[in-house]
Chain A
Amino acid sequence: MPGDRLRRILAELSDGETMWPAARLCAVGPQITGMKGAGVMLMSDDLPRGSLCSSDEVSQLIEELQYTLGEGPCVDAYQRDTIVSEPDLADPQTRRWFAFTPPVLQAGVRAVFGFPLRVGTVRLGALDLYRDRPGELSSDQHADALVLAEVTARWVLDAQAGAPSGVVAEELEASADFHFAVHNAAGIVSVQEGISVTDALIRLRAFAYSHDRLLDDVAQDVIARRLRLG
């Protein structure tokens, strides 16, 4: 019964409490879905906005690489509004993410999956799951991940429902990493180079990509004036 699955997953998440922090979605996510790690990416206007949570360092890397590169399982799941399944990243036949795949393989990821976060027709981002060995999801894991994605999407909207208009909900602000440093750096670079902030962000992304670095690390160097693009 679908209702039983939802009840079981909610019981694991809530642990008897009526409210739980976002971190719990990712902390319990791997156990619920039988995966190695889980992360949640919030997106809007076709772009990653930030990571709501991640279960471990590898999941965090998966999130940050997607934010840096603008490609990966969450980006595809959100943009195409469909479940993304890469059961073997090492298979040369299925090299779908040119920049994302090599560093995650190196970090020990073999299979990744993306599930859109949606409520009705509203899309909020995506849940990503990874595993250190290849293989498809079983139909049970698939169903568990779908329910987890649904619960996560509702969690985000419920959190925002409590916030005044024009303000990001406190629970989201506290849990999520919206990469504000990157936007600080974009402001700095726009002045240094005499370009728009949009172009500055592109320059920062290009620099991070061509130097095999994460966007946040590059941003920190720009803010500390250790690095000047151009």
Chain B
Amino acid sequence: MTREADVVRSLVEMADTLVDDYDVVDLLTGLTDRCVTLLGVSAAGVMLASPSGSLGLVASSSEAMRLLELFELQEQEGPCLDAFRSGGRVDQEDLRAGSGRWPLFSAAAVRAGFQSAVALPLRLREVTLGALNLLSTTRSPIGEADVIVARGFADLAALSILQHRASAEAQRLNEQLSAALTSRIVIEQAKGVISERAGIDLTEAFARLRGYARNANLPLTDVARAAVDGTLDPRAWTSARG
């Protein structure tokens, strides 16, 4: 298969995983694996920012990469952090223990067998969500074409993460609305039940329901549900007043 075909197939496969209930970690692990398979790099890793703004490790193509990225986070220096902080690409840099931009990170990377690093931000317009780290066991430069492909993967991942978050928020609000409406409906049903049992109108029924809930220090919805289920003490509507 040609390289273009491989790249296109990877993009299609990634897009295919963006179904209703996909897992962000699975998506990003797939992204790191594809970087290694398709690009001239030896290892790849993704970090994402938490709501508080601190980066966390989400996916790595290998165990060595995972440990190195954890080290990067612990020491707070390295290509991924720079790409995230600047929101821009961190050009390939040869790694030499104890020197360069990241002396501590470079030492650990060289120990793990890596010799050069590139990093790209995961971003959509002004929002930077995290960064993609690409490491190589050689000093040969990563081709510009490979960086463009990596950029495409990173952009698709960023877009899908943002949509996933927006969808999760919409889900939360919809469930909240639905639950609130269900509580309201149970209270209205309970007003009807008490109005019929006590031979009073709906306004008076609500006053007694609320009065009982207050005196008993119980949530109104719970008292209403008990009234509807027929498990509420009859004194709730015969004696208690709001």
A positions within 8 Å CB-CB of B: 44-45, 49, 119-124, 156-157, 160-161, 163, 165-169, 172, 178, 180, 183-192, 197, 223
Contacts and interface: CB of A to CB of B under 8 A. Distances in A.
A70 to B, nearest CB: 16
A142 to B, nearest CB: 24
B167 A121 contact: yes
Interface of B: 20-21, 163, 166-167, 170-171, 173-174, 176-181, 183-185, 188-197, 202, 221, 228
Nearest to B195: A188
A180 B188 contact: yes
A197 B189 contact: yes
A44 B167 contact: no
B237 to A, nearest CB: 11
Contacts of B177: 44, 156, 160, 168-169, 172
B181 A178 contact: yes
B20 to A, nearest CB: 5
Nearest to B206: A184
Given A160-B177, A185-B192, A187-B193, A168 B170 contact: no
Given A187-B189, A187-B190, A187-B195, A157 B163 contact: no
Given A44-B174, A156-B177, A160-B173, 5 more contacts: A120-B163, A160-B174, A160-B176, A168-B180, A188-B196
B180 A163 contact: yes
B166 A187 contact: no
20 contacts: A119-B167, A120-B163, A120-B166, A120-B167, A120-B171, A123-B174, A165-B176, A166-B179, A186-B189, A186-B192, A187-B188, A187-B192, A187-B194, A187-B195, A188-B192, A188-B193, A190-B193, A191-B192, A191-B197, A223-B192
A183 B173 contact: no
Contact of B20 (A121, A188, A191, A197): A121
B170 A183 contact: no
Contacts of B202: 184, 223
Given A120-B163, A122-B171, A166-B183, A184 B191 contact: yes
A205 B21 CA distance: 36
A195 to B, nearest CB: 11
B170 A157 contact: yes
Contacts of B20: 121
A20 B202 CA distance: 33
A169 B20 CA distance: 27
Lowest 4 CB-CB distances: which A-B pairs, in order? A187-B192, A120-B167, A183-B188, A191-B196
B193 A191 contact: yes
Which has the most chain A C-beta neighbours within 10 Å: B166, B194, B195? B195
A101 B74 CA distance: 67
Nearest to A182: B188
A119 B175 CA distance: 13
A178 B187 CA distance: 13
Nearest to B183: A166
B209 to A, nearest CB: 11
Contact of A122 (B170, B183, B188): B170
A122 B193 CA distance: 34
Contacts of A124: 174
B196 A168 contact: no
Which has the most chain A C-beta neighbours within 10 Å: B177, B180, B185, B195? B177
B181 A49 contact: yes
Contacts of A165: 176, 180
Contact of A161 (B171, B173, B184, B228): B173
Contacts of A122: 167, 170-171, 174
Nearest to B192: A187
A55 to B, nearest CB: 23
Contacts of B197: 191
A180 B228 CA distance: 15
B22 to A, nearest CB: 11
A156 B192 CA distance: 29
Contacts of B167: 119-122
B74 to A, nearest CB: 36
Nearest to A185: B192
A184 B192 contact: yes
Nearest to B179: A166
A125 B31 CA distance: 36
